[in-house]
Amino acid sequence: MSHRRDGWMDGLADGDVEALELRAATLARVEGEGGMRVLVRDGQVSDVRLDIYEPPRFFEALLRGRAATEAPDITSRICGICPVAYQMSACLAVEDACGVEIPEHIRLLRRLLYCGEWLESHALHVYLLHAPDFLGYPGAIEMARDHRDAVNRGLRLKQAGNAVLATIGGRAVHPVNVRVGGFHRLPRTGELRELRAVVATALDDALATVEMAAGFDYPDFEQPYEYVSLRHERDYPIEAGSFVTSSGEAFPVAGFPDRVTEEHVEHSNALHARMGGGTYVVGPLARYSLNADRLTPLARQAADRAQLGPTCRNPFRSIVVRAVELVVAAEEALRILDGWAPEGPAAVPVPPRAGTGHGATEAPRGALYHRYELAPDGTIVQAAIVPPTSQNLASIEADLRGFVQPRIGLDAEELTRQCEQAIRNYDPCISCATHFLTLTVETDDTVGPG
Amino acid sequence: MSRPLVVGVGNPDRGDDAIGPHVAARVAALGPPGVDVVERGEPVDLVPHLLERDHMVIVDAAAPRGRPGRLRVHVVGATAPAAGAGGAGGTHGFGVAEAVELARALGRLPARLVLIGVEAGTLSAGEPLSAAVSGCVDEAVRATLTAAGR
């Protein structure tokens, strides 16, 4: 972390300009590798850049020529934190292309598996990546020395998520039991009984997490976000639904590419997504604000106790919303486990046909969209994947602008730390965001090296 | 739990980073009595094992320093290792040292904790083990069994 006056403005600024650069060359406590630069000139924030330098990964090109049945396993490798999200969006898109609807028991088992991923991912972010910001520690190791019970609780929650993935998905990272049309095998009753005990403990831990997060101090900062998330006719959105926005739009998953464009920006190996030309936000804040009426009963009570209200526009309170979603995940997992009475096979046939299919689910970080164009034999002709972090990058930069301006008088080191915290509000997954296909690097020689 | 636990750490598809899972799989195939093996562990998920077990052996690739295949056996003691472990990195920077220090901060480490590091030569995606590292697999397996008390 560094901050300096007249740093990268050398050779560019005239001598009278007061320039302040806030810079984190490598962002701490995020998924993947990126940096941040905020430039202040003459008391005004003049430039904000989230530098995404992790190399692009070309997954969409990799998918061309592969069988559609391989899409869930290939795309799950985009991320070690949210592989289930990739598997689920891929399955939905391929099944959509082939005109197949999956039966209810398979939908429920997918939702149960997905709850495990929410538990894993949210627990990791809340406890090991984000809580140290609020408790005043450089990281989880330092925090653990003073807050053993909290960190142990976080590790237990993550292990509970691992147990769901291992039981339903076959292993805790990159599950192997998922296939287009369903699963390779259904779980056995004895396995689910053991899992239930673990998830019941996770529910208690999730409720305690909401209580902990609600007690943190939050900067007074709200943004006029355009929220976008899935919405389901009955449930809190996880593995199914169609899109809604906070400005009142509603559209099917197949309408996503008509509204969202991805553009390349010079300082980033990740595309920035825009809807109708404007920035928007996906993720826990969007899901909660657009689906507060779909919360599970204990999650609703916990949100009320945390005084979350019907919407939340303070990104720093995303940690409270993530905690509430831990409760949703544990409650939903228990509901599915308690009602589990499968009627039908582990998977339904998905005969290939030519066509285009769309799939979207709610990854822990927000809506994850897949589109596949298939040849008659099921070979993938074109693939497009829009992960949540790409959709949030423009808003992260907008947050930094709005956040830094009234705080310019703060000590630069402290302000840099707070900027990193503002980025962590989004739990950005840089590895997901750099999966994309084309990369055009244009250099601007007037900007010095970082 | 008193049964020794051997864990291999690393990506099996990234050149010499595969040495941890490779050695752990060999140990599992030999089936030493009374030894549990996790062939491929994630660093964050090492922590619960570190908090529960009395005896653990962790096998991982060590950063390239010009001598691929060199074996280092480190018995973790009561004082913090000089690995520069800190909790402030990203998740991609959370390795074995961070897992050990997180468990230590939580107040417990196995009474006997041995880290076996095999210095890597290449860490390229899709590459197999380098010749230098392949050549020391037997030695690493023997060291792991010895560290596990077998």
Residue A45 sits in the same domain as residue A74: no
Q: Is B105–A144 a contact, with Cβ atoms under 8 angstroms apart?
A: yes
Question: Using an 8 Å Cβ cutoff, are A396 and A420 in contact?
Answer: no
Question: Using an 8 Å Cβ cutoff, are A114 and A84 in contact?
Answer: yes
* Assigned token pair, A139: 């990281």
Residue A282 sits in the same domain as residue A416: no
Instruction: State how far Cα A285 lies from the chain centre.
Output: 11
- Residue A63: what pLDDT? 95
Instruction: List chain B domain ranges.
Output: 5-147
Task: With H, G, I as helix, E, B as strand and everything else as coil, classify residue A171.
Answer: coil
Interface of A with B (CB under 8 A): 26-33, 80-81, 124, 128-129, 132, 137-145, 148, 151-152, 155, 158-159, 162, 172-173, 431
Partner A contacted by B136 (CB < 8 A) = no
Residue A183 sits in the same domain as residue A159: yes
Map chain B to HEC letters. CCCCEEEEECCCCEHHHHHHHHHHHHHHHHCCCCCEEEEEECHHHHHHHHHHCCEEEEEEEECCCCCCCCEEEEECCCCCCCCCCCCCCCHHHCCHHHHHHHHHHCCCCCCEEEEEEEECCCCCECCCCCHHHHCCHHHHHHHHHHHCCC
Q: Flag whether A442 is in a domain.
A: no
- Residue A50: what pLDDT? 82
Q: Which amino acid is located at B128 in the chain?
A: P
Q: Flag whether A353 is in a domain.
A: yes
C-alpha to C-alpha distance for A178 and A201, rounded to whole angstroms: 26
Q: Is B45–A159 a contact, with Cβ atoms under 8 angstroms apart?
A: yes
Q: Is B87–A27 a contact, with Cβ atoms under 8 angstroms apart?
A: no
Judged by CB atoms within 8 Å, which residues 87-126 of B form the interface with A?
87-92, 98, 101-102, 105-107
Question: Which residue among A28, A80, A124 places its CB closest to the CB of B89?
Answer: A28
How far away is chain A from the Cα of B91, in angstroms, using its nearest Cα?
A: 5
Q: Is the pLDDT of residue A364 over 80?
A: yes
Residue A360 sits in the same domain as residue A217: yes
The whole-chain average pLDDT of chain A stands at 89
What does the pLDDT average to over A400-422?
88
Residue A223 sits in the same domain as residue A351: yes
Q: Flag whether A446 is in a domain.
A: no
Q: Is the pLDDT of residue A5 over 50?
A: no
Instruction: State how far Cα A89 lies from the chain centre.
Output: 13
Residue A380 sits in the same domain as residue A428: no
Residue A318 sits in the same domain as residue A422: no
Partner A contacted by B148 (CB < 8 A) = no
Domain of residue A119 covers 59-390
What percent helix, strand, coil does chain A show, rounded to 5? 45, 20, 35
- Confidence label for A271 from pLDDT (cuts 50, 70 and 90): confident
Q: Flag whether A444 is in a domain.
A: no
Partner A contacted by B77 (CB < 8 A) = no
Q: Distances from the Cα of B4 to the Cαs of A402, B32, B78, B107, B150, in angstroms?
A: 54, 10, 19, 20, 10
* Assigned token pair, B131: 């010749």
| Structural domains counted in chain A | 2
C-alpha to C-alpha distance for B85 and A157, rounded to whole angstroms: 24
How far away is chain A from the Cα of B141, in angstroms, using its nearest Cα?
A: 25
Q: Flag whether A121 is in a domain.
A: yes
- Confidence label for A10 from pLDDT (cuts 50, 70 and 90): very low
C-alpha to C-alpha distance for A52 and A399, rounded to whole angstroms: 17
Beta bridge partners of A38: A22, A48
Beta bridge partners of A22: A3, A38
Question: Using an 8 Å Cβ cutoff, are A270 and A430 in contact?
Answer: yes
Sequence-distant (6+) residues with CB within 8 A of B102 are A140, A141, A144, A151, B47, B87
Q: Is the pLDDT of residue A435 over 70?
A: no
Measured between beta carbons, which residues in chain B are less than 8 angstroms from residue A158? 44-45
Q: Is the pLDDT of residue A1 over 50?
A: no
Q: Which helix H or strand E contains A168, and what residues bound it?
A: helix A148-169
Beta bridge partners of B113: B56
Q: Is B87–A139 a contact, with Cβ atoms under 8 angstroms apart?
A: yes
Q: Flag whether A449 is in a domain.
A: no
C-alpha to C-alpha distance for A36 and A1, rounded to whole angstroms: 10
C-alpha to C-alpha distance for A404 and A348, rounded to whole angstroms: 53
Q: What is the CATH number of the domain that holds A107?
A: 1.10.645.10
- Residue B82: what pLDDT? 45
Q: Is the pLDDT of residue A449 over 60?
A: no
Cβ neighbour number for residue A370 with a 10 Å cutoff: 31
- Confidence label for A267 from pLDDT (cuts 50, 70 and 90): confident
Question: Which residue among B48, B92, B102 places its CB closest to the CB of A141?
Answer: B102
Q: Is the pLDDT of residue A277 over 50?
A: yes
pTM, entire model: 0.90
- Residue A15: what pLDDT? 44
C-alpha to C-alpha distance for A132 and A139, rounded to whole angstroms: 6
Q: What is the DSSP string of A368-430?
A: EEEEEEE-TTSBEEEEEEE-HHHHHHHHHHHHHHHHHGGGTTS-HHHHHHHHHHHHHTT--BH
Q: What is the DSSP string of A257-304?
A: HHHEEEE--TTBSS-EEEETTB--B-SHHHHHHHHGGG--HHHHHHHH
Homologous superfamily (CATH) for B5-147? HybD-like (3.40.50.1450)
Residue A380 sits in the same domain as residue A409: no
- Confidence label for A440 from pLDDT (cuts 50, 70 and 90): very low
Question: Using an 8 Å Cβ cutoff, are B47 and B94 in contact?
Answer: no
* Interface predicted TM-score (ipTM) over 0.85: yes
Residue A109 sits in the same domain as residue A214: yes
What does the pLDDT average to over A366-389?
96
CA atoms within 13 A on the CB side of A195: 27
Q: Is A124–B91 a contact, with Cβ atoms under 8 angstroms apart?
A: yes
Residue A207 sits in the same domain as residue A252: yes
For residue range A312-329, list pLDDT tens digits in order: 999 999 999 999 999 999
For residue range A103-130, list pLDDT tens digits in order: 999 999 999 999 999 999 999 999 999 9
Residue A29 sits in the same domain as residue A66: no
For residue range A19-53, list pLDDT tens digits in order: 788 887 777 777 777 788 888 888 888 888 888 77
**Burial class of residue A256, CB neighbours in 10 A (0-12, 13-18, 19+):** buried
Residue percentage of chain A with pLDDT more than 70: 91
The whole-chain average pLDDT of chain B stands at 89
Q: Which of A339, A363, A390 is the last residue of a domain?
A: A390
- Confidence label for A8 from pLDDT (cuts 50, 70 and 90): very low
Task: With H, G, I as helix, E, B as strand and everything else as coil, classify residue A222.
Answer: coil
**Burial class of residue A411, CB neighbours in 10 A (0-12, 13-18, 19+):** exposed
- Confidence label for B86 from pLDDT (cuts 50, 70 and 90): low
Q: Nearest to residue A127, comparing CAs of A249, A216, A53, A222?
A: A216
Question: Using an 8 Å Cβ cutoff, are A358 and A95 in contact?
Answer: no
Judged by CB atoms within 8 Å, which residues 31-60 of B form the interface with A?
42, 44-45, 47-48, 51
Residue A87 sits in the same domain as residue A225: yes
Question: Which residue among B85, B86, B90 places its CB closest to the CB of A33?
Answer: B90
B92 vs A96, higher pLDDT: A96
For residue range A190-236, list pLDDT tens digits in order: 999 999 999 999 999 999 999 999 999 999 999 999 999 999 999 99
Q: Is the pLDDT of residue B13 over 80?
A: yes
Q: Nearest to residue A38, comparing CAs of A396, A318, A443?
A: A396
Measured between beta carbons, which residues in chain A are less than 8 angstroms from residue B85? 141
- Residue A438: what pLDDT? 31
For residue range A71-96, list pLDDT tens digits in order: 999 999 888 889 999 999 999 999 99
